[in-house]
């Protein structure tokens, strides 16, 4: 069981027309293409495309995707709506958060908080906040510490609901 990459990375460009509608086009590049190289290429392509279209470029995304080739079996009864919400402090004095779906009950305190003394949580926090860690907030500021963590439930979507009977 391992994460395997697609053959390509995808560059998806967003274009806006005179009515305000937004359309997309996608260009593939080999997966091994460095991000910096792909972004330079994308900038060149934006210029080339602008000459053959009446739309304007709003931006683009470069995506490298991987899929598990043999996913394991989830724990019986696990639900992605049962989340661990982790709120972090960042180097610029702000905060950022992300949620882990299907949080394990073993890392929760009776009141629903994440147990910061749990050995697995300590390991997780160290990995996110480590000096060499790349993880950051959306504005690019380093994550420095866990502010708090707690269990949160999200509403079940129709396609996540168990069978009706």
96 binds other proteins, rule: CB under 8 A: yes
63 binds other proteins, rule: CB under 8 A: yes
152 binds other proteins, rule: CB under 8 A: no
Strand, helix or coil for residue 5: strand
CB of 100 to other proteins, least distance (A): 5
The binder of other proteins chosen from 112, 116, 120, 160 (CB under 8 A): 120
65 binds other proteins, rule: CB under 8 A: yes
Assigned token pair, 18: 């005179």
Distance CA 129, CA 127 (A): 6
Distance CA 90, CA 87 (A): 10
Judged by CB, which is closer to other proteins: 89, or 107?
107
Nearest CA to 79 out of 153, 149, 164 is that of 153
Residue 79 DSSP class? -
CB of 51 to other proteins, least distance (A): 4
85 binds other proteins, rule: CB under 8 A: no
91 binds other proteins, rule: CB under 8 A: no
x/- letters, 12..41, toward other proteins (CB under 8 A): ---xxxxx-xxxxxxxxxxx-xxxx-xx-x
CB atoms under 10 Å from CB of 88, counted, come to: 23
The binder of other proteins chosen from 68, 147, 156, 160 (CB under 8 A): 68
145 binds other proteins, rule: CB under 8 A: no
* CB contact at 8 A, 114 and 151: yes
101 binds other proteins, rule: CB under 8 A: yes
Q: Scanning the structure block, which residue is given the tokens 């792909």? A: 38
Length of the chain: 165
Assigned token pair, 56: 């304007």
CB of 156 to other proteins, least distance (A): 15
64 binds other proteins, rule: CB under 8 A: yes
């Amino acid at each position: 069981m391992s994460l395997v990459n697609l053959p390509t990375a995808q560059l998806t460009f967003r274009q806006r027309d005179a009515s305000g509608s937004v359309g997309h086009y996608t260009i593939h590049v080999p997966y091994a293409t460095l991000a910096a190289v792909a972004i330079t290429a994308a900038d060149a392509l934006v210029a080339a495309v602008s000459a053959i279209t009446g739309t304007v470029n709003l931006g683009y995304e470069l995506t490298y995707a991987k899929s598990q080739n043999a996913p394991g079996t989830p724990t019986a009864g696990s639900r992605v709506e049962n989340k661990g919400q982790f709120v972090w402090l960042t180097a610029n004095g702000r905060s950022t958060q992300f949620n882990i779906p299907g949080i394990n009950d073993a890392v929760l305190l009776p009141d629903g908080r994440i147990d910061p003394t749990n050995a697995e949580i300590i390991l997780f926090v160290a990995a996110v906040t480590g000096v060499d860690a790349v993880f950051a907030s959306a504005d690019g500021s380093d994550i420095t510490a866990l502010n708090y963590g707690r269990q949160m439930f999200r509403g079940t979507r129709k396609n996540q609901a168990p069978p009706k009977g």
